[in-house]
Amino acid sequence: MRLARFAVFAVLALSARPLMAAGEVTDFTLDNGMQVVVIEDHRAPVVVHMVWYRTGAADEPPGKSGIAHFLEHLMFKGTDERAAGELSKVVEANGGSDNAFTSYDYTAYFQRVAADRLALMMEMEADRMRDLALAPDDVATERSVILEERATRTDSEPGALFREELDAALYRNHPYGVPVIGWKGEMEGLTRDDALAFYRQFYAPNNAILIVAGDVLPDEVRALAEAQYGRLVPSEGIGPRARPQEPPSRAARRIVLEDARVAQPSLMRSYLAPAREPGDQGTAAALAYLARLLGGDAATSVLGRALQFDSQLAVHTSAGYSATSLDDTTFSVVVVPAEGVSLAEAEAALDAQLATFLKTGPDPVAFERLRMQIRAAEIYALDDVGEIADRYGRALTTGLSIGDVQAWPEALQAVTIDDVLTAARAVLDKRASVTGWLLPEGGEGVL
Partner 1 sequence: MIRFASALAFLVLVALPARAEVDIQEVTSPGGLTAWLVEEHSIPFVALELRFRGGASLDAPGKRGAINLMTGLIEEGAGELDAQGFAEARDDLAASYRFDVGDDVLSVSARFLTENRDAAVALLQSALTDPRFDAQAIERVRGQVLAHLKSRETDPGALASAAFDRLAYGDHPYGSYYGGTPESVAALTRNDILDAFARTVARDRVVIAAVGDITESELGALVDTLLGGLPETGAPLPAELAFGATGGITVVPFETPQSVAQFGQPGISVEDPDFFAAFILNTVLGGVGFNNRLMEEVREKRGLTYGIGTYLVDSDYSESLVGSVSTVNPRMGETIDVVRGAWALMAREGLTAEELAGAKTYLTGAYPLRFDGNAPIARILVGMQLSGYPVDYVKTRNARIEAVTLQEANRVAAELFRPEALRFVVVGQPEGVQSTN
Q: Given the residues 24, 40, 60, 72, select the one marked as catalytic.
A: 72
Tell me the closest approach of the beta carbon of residue 430 to partner 1, in angstroms. 27
Instruction: Name which of 113 and 421 has its Cβ closer to partner 1.
Output: 113
For partner 1, the binding residues in 218-237 under the rule CB under 8 A are: 220, 224, 227
Tell me which stretch binds partner 1 (CB under 8 A): 41-49, 54-62, 101-109, 430-438: 41-49
14, 384 Cβ separation under 8 angstroms: yes
Tell me the closest approach of the beta carbon of residue 149 to partner 1, in angstroms. 4
Query: 380: which residues sit within 8 A by CB, 6+ positions away?
Result: none
Q: From the DSSP assignment, how many helices (H) and strands (E) are in the chain? A: 15, 12
Q: Using CB under 8 A, pick the residue from 2, 153, 243, 430 that binds partner 1.
A: 153
Q: What share of the chain is helix, strand, coil (3-state, %, to 5)?
A: 45, 20, 35
Should residue 431 be labelled a site residue for partner 1 when binding is judged by CB under 8 A? no
Should residue 383 be labelled a site residue for partner 1 when binding is judged by CB under 8 A? yes
Should residue 92 be labelled a site residue for partner 1 when binding is judged by CB under 8 A? yes
Q: Using CB under 8 A, pick the residue from 236, 237, 263, 359 that binds partner 1.
A: 263
Tell me the closest approach of the beta carbon of residue 138 to partner 1, in angstroms. 9
72 is catalytic: yes
For partner 1, the binding residues in 115-144 under the rule CB under 8 A are: 115-120, 122-123, 140-144
Should residue 395 be labelled a site residue for partner 1 when binding is judged by CB under 8 A? no
Query: 219: which residues sit within 8 A by CB, 6+ positions away?
Result: none
Number of residues forming the site for partner 1 (CB under 8 A):
88
Query: 202: which residues sit within 8 A by CB, 6+ positions away?
Result: 53, 54, 55, 59, 238
> Would you call 301 helix, strand, or coil by DSSP?
coil
Tell me the closest approach of the beta carbon of residue 11 to partner 1, in angstroms. 8
Q: Using CB under 8 A, pick the residue from 42, 64, 174, 269 that binds partner 1.
A: 42
24, 16 Cβ separation under 8 angstroms: no
Q: Using CB under 8 A, pick the residue from 27, 72, 149, 194 that binds partner 1.
A: 149
From CA 2, how far away is CA 102, in angstroms rounded? Answer: 5
For partner 1, the binding residues in 294-353 under the rule CB under 8 A are: 297, 299-300, 305, 308-309, 312, 315-316, 336, 338-339
**425 φ/ψ sector (left φ>0, alpha ψ -120 to 50, else beta):** alpha
Q: Using CB under 8 A, pick the residue from 74, 262, 349, 434 that binds partner 1.
A: 262
Give per-residue burial for 258-271: e unless 16+ CB within 10 Å, then b: beeebeebbbbbbb
Should residue 428 be labelled a site residue for partner 1 when binding is judged by CB under 8 A? no
Should residue 74 be labelled a site residue for partner 1 when binding is judged by CB under 8 A? no
Instruction: Name which of 123 and 419 has its Cβ closer to partner 1.
Output: 123
HEC readout, 86-102: HHHHHHHHCCCEEEEEE
Give per-residue burial for 344-381: e unless 16+ CB within 10 Å, then b: eebbebbeebbeebeeebbeeebbeebbeebeeeeeee
From CA 191, how far away is CA 354, in angstroms rounded? Answer: 47
Should residue 242 be labelled a site residue for partner 1 when binding is judged by CB under 8 A? no
Q: Beta 35-40 vs 46-53: how paired, if at all?
A: unpaired
From CA 90, how far away is CA 132, in angstroms rounded? Answer: 17
Query: 257: which residues sit within 8 A by CB, 6+ positions away?
Result: 158, 161, 162, 165, 436, 437, 438, 439
Give per-residue burial for 277-311: e unless 16+ CB within 10 Å, then b: eeeebbbbbbbbbbbbbbbbebeebbbbbbbbeeb
Tell me the closest approach of the beta carbon of residue 224 to partner 1, in angstroms. 8
Tell me the closest approach of the beta carbon of residue 271 to partner 1, in angstroms. 25
Tell me which stretch binds partner 1 (CB under 8 A): 61-69, 282-290, 370-378, 395-403: 370-378
From CA 53, how far away is CA 200, in angstroms rounded? Answer: 12
Instruction: Name which of 274 and 362 has its Cβ closer to partner 1.
Output: 362
Instruction: Name which of 87 and 326 has its Cβ closer to partner 1.
Output: 87
Should residue 372 be labelled a site residue for partner 1 when binding is judged by CB under 8 A? yes
Tell me which stretch binds partner 1 (CB under 8 A): 94-102, 187-195, 238-246, 389-397: 94-102
Site string for partner 1, 167-206 (x = CB under 8 A): ----------------------------------------
Should residue 32 be labelled a site residue for partner 1 when binding is judged by CB under 8 A? no
Q: Using CB under 8 A, pick the residue from 24, 32, 43, 414 that binds partner 1.
A: 43
From CA 273, how far away is CA 434, in angstroms rounded? Answer: 12
Tell me the closest approach of the beta carbon of residue 338 to partner 1, in angstroms. 5
Q: Using CB under 8 A, pick the residue from 45, 63, 278, 279 that binds partner 1.
A: 45
Known catalytic residues?
72
